[in-house]
Amino acid sequence: MNPQLRRKVALLDLHLHYEKIQDEIDTAIKRVFASKQFILGSEVKELEHEIAAYCHSDYAIGCASGSDAILLALMAYDIGVGDEVITTPYTFFATVGSIVRLGAKPVFVDIEESTFNMNPQALAALINDKTRAILPIHLFGQCADMEPIKALAKSIGIPVIEDAAQAIGAEYKGERAGKLGALAAFSFYPSKNLGGAGDGGMLTTDDAALAEKLQALRAHGARKKYFHDYVGLNSRLDSLQAAILRVKLKYLEVWSEARRENARRYQNLFSQTNLLTAGKVRLPVEVAGMRHVYNQYVIVVEARDRLMAYLKEQGIGTEIYYPLPLHLQTCFADLGFHRGDFPVSEKAAATALAIPVHPELTAADQQYVVESIEAFYAV
């Protein structure tokens, strides 16, 4: 490739992202310092109202991270030793780590090849009298197939908890992520579509009693200071994070649409190559009735690791989500799983590659990415 055409395309450009809203962010930070309220307080309350409204949920409860949000969700249902929670092995560690932290057992169901999300067809066989919840992930920004999952959960009277960490603003048949299950967990990790300047998380629910319990659980289980009804966590959301997130929330729709536009542009650009028909590259599938918000744009490719190294040389940032499915992680060895147990997840772990899709990406950046991928397979 002509070296003069070489450019730098980061997987995520937080610098560009911040530049555009710097003044507003700085004002928000000053407001927090002036208030000297650094934990919870009015900024967090306002953010909770705004997130609840955005997700069409009745309640939102801030906490310290997306990982804690999942942990708190399970704790709200008193899930612990002897209980089973069904989820997939192809997700970020926290989904499964939270289950195991509480002494409960993760029961894995494989994913669908086209969407990387929970395969509802394989669920029924895993249900038994210890099953306490189903925990689907809306991976990469597209909702899991919630209708059959919810129908099954309802038939046996257990909750569906959404891991919506990557999916704020995603929709399933007109309904928003966060409104699809009994409880949902969101993350404000900086690389998420709504990212803070550090860790942060949020839960949404329509259940007033659960919301009230979660407010206690995130503050050491105390409804009244120093009087503890539960053994909870210290998982409060900082006011600084809330103030920053409130600024960014105003732009979230614009950014999500930019991600969707970038996905459409990739579709066009790749269609003009022979990469798809030659089976070198498979693009993400946006299922009908879904609003995919593309926290990641994950393609499935031939010779993944070599392509990744080549793109790095060309100045293009990519990432593997996730290189080792959770059933094969060292820390879960005592669960007794083996390679081959969840073949679709294992195949995804070996072939999936996230390429840049962030809102600041330009058409020229995308053209460069696609041309570089073409150049790799041409040699």
Ligand X SMILES: *Cc1c(COP(=O)(O)O)cnc(C)c1O
- Binding-site ranges for ligand X (CB under 6 A): 65-67, 91-92, 94-95, 137, 163, 165-166, 187, 189, 199, 201
**Which stretches of the chain are DSSP H helices?**
14-19, 22-35, 41-54, 66-76, 93-101, 146-156, 208-217, 239-249, 252-271, 304-313, 343-351, 363-378
Smallest gap from Cβ 11 to ligand X, in A, equals 14
Whether 301 contacts 376, CB under 8 Å: no
Question: Distance between the two ends of the chain, CA-based, in angstroms?
Answer: 11
Nearest to ligand X of 73, 308 (CB atom): 73
If we measure between CA atoms, which residue out of 63, 295, 59, 318 comes closest to residue 195? 295
| Burial class (CB within 10 angstroms; exposed 0-12, middle 13-18, buried 19+) of 361 | buried
| Burial class (CB within 10 angstroms; exposed 0-12, middle 13-18, buried 19+) of 336 | exposed
Whether 247 contacts 24, CB under 8 Å: yes
Smallest gap from Cβ 182 to ligand X, in A, equals 17
Nearest to ligand X of 159, 201 (CB atom): 201
Nearest to ligand X of 96, 107 (CB atom): 96
Smallest gap from Cβ 97 to ligand X, in A, equals 9
Q: Which helix (H) or strand (E) holds 228?
A: strand 227-228
Nearest to ligand X of 40, 354 (CB atom): 354
Nearest to ligand X of 233, 276 (CB atom): 233
Residue nearest to ligand X (CB): 66
Smallest gap from Cβ 314 to ligand X, in A, equals 27
**Number of residues assigned to the chain:** 379
Nearest to ligand X of 73, 275 (CB atom): 73
Nearest to ligand X of 66, 325 (CB atom): 66
Torsion of CA 88, 89, 92, 93, to 10 degrees: 120
Nearest to ligand X of 189, 294 (CB atom): 189
Q: Which residues have CB under 8 Å from 341's CB, separation 6+? A: 108, 327
Nearest to ligand X of 76, 137 (CB atom): 137
Smallest gap from Cβ 156 to ligand X, in A, equals 25
- The strand pairing partners of 68, in sequence order, are none
Smallest gap from Cβ 282 to ligand X, in A, equals 21
In the β-sheet with 84-87, what is the strand arrangement from edge to edge? 105-108, 84-87, 131-134
Whether 225 contacts 215, CB under 8 Å: no
Smallest gap from Cβ 364 to ligand X, in A, equals 29
Smallest gap from Cβ 12 to ligand X, in A, equals 13
State the residue for tokens 């899930």.
79
Smallest gap from Cβ 84 to ligand X, in A, equals 19
Tell me how many degrees the CA angle 33-38-40 measures, rounded to the nearest 5. Answer: 135
